[in-house]
Chains A and B, each alone.
Chain A
Amino acid sequence: DAKTTQPPSMDCAEGRAANLPCNHSTISGNEYVYWYRQIHSQGPQYIIHGLKNNETNEMASLIITEDRKSSTLILPHATLRDTAVYYCIVMPGGYNKLIFGAGTRLAVHP
């Protein structure tokens, strides 16, 4: 079973920041937080991952709370092409089996 809780859906206006929350209150010390997204009719796409420090790459930023029980994925300037299902996944480093939950369906509107 997935070890994360995400809202089923969210809306965001184009050009604004999209903040997607994820609760992982039972996370262990050696477990990373991973984010993937799946645009309609495509395979999932890796976005970002982190252990306890905040991370940023060309796609997004990941903010992990100090107690590591929750995190937020930030898309700084959402576009229509960011409309997708976003999955938050928790698993140990080196563990190669992704366990997907239901994810958050993000709709970016003009």
Chain B
Amino acid sequence: DAGVTQSPTHLIKTRGQQVTLRCSPKSGHDTVSWYQQALGQGPQFIFQYYEEEERQRGNFPDRFSGHQFPNYSSELNVNALLLGDSALYLCASSPERGHQETQYFGPGTRLLVL
């Protein structure tokens, strides 16, 4: 079992650009959540996808959008990048049934905006 995988591992962008991050959930999981973790802080919930729909959303602007594919993998898109978007972006997967709160996290994508 490969667990949750994310790509790329690191990324450098400039202000105003757009970025797409990718996540493959753990085998058997159909729910994907995205988190943003700024340096020295705890992760902050961005949104969650289930059945290809956004089910919950945290306090993030519309510049942050996502998508879930039929194979449950997911993408996080951020438009019009700001310096403050520099962070570690974490993807977590969980089963719809059972212990939903037991989320399994990937290693993250570290984004640097210059």
Q: Which residues of A contact B (CB under 8 A)?
A: 2, 32, 34, 41-46, 49, 85, 87, 91, 93-103
User: B41, B44, B100, B105: which has the most chain A beta carbons within 10 Å?
Assistant: B105
How many residue pairs, one in A and one in B, have C-beta atoms under 8 Å apart?
61
Q: Apart from A43-B107, A95-B100, list 13 A-B contacts with CB within 8 A.
A: A42-B108, A43-B90, A43-B108, A44-B43, A94-B100, A96-B31, A96-B33, A96-B100, A96-B103, A97-B58, A98-B33, A98-B35, A100-B43
**B35 smallest CB distance to A (angstroms):** 8
Nearest to A92 among chain B residues (CB) is: B101
User: B80-114: which residues lie under 8 A (CB-CB) from chain A?
Assistant: 90, 92, 94, 99-108
Whether the pair A96, B94 counts as a contact (CB closer than 8 A) is yes
The number of chain B residues touching the other chain, given as a range, is: 20 to 34
Q: Which residues of A contact B101 (CB under 8 A)?
A: 32, 34, 49, 91, 93-96, 98
Q: Which residues of B contact A (CB under 8 A)?
A: 4, 31, 33, 35, 41-45, 48, 56, 58, 90, 92, 94, 99-108
**B62 smallest CB distance to A (angstroms):** 19
Nearest to A87 among chain B residues (CB) is: B42
**B33 smallest CB distance to A (angstroms):** 7
Nearest to B45 among chain A residues (CB) is: A97
With the chains together, A33 CA to B95 CA distance in Å?
Answer: 19
With the chains together, A101 CA to B111 CA distance in Å?
Answer: 22
Of B42, B43, B48, B105, the residue contacting A45 (CB under 8 A) is B105
Whether the pair A42, B42 counts as a contact (CB closer than 8 A) is no
With the chains together, A95 CA to B101 CA distance in Å?
Answer: 7
Nearest to A43 among chain B residues (CB) is: B105
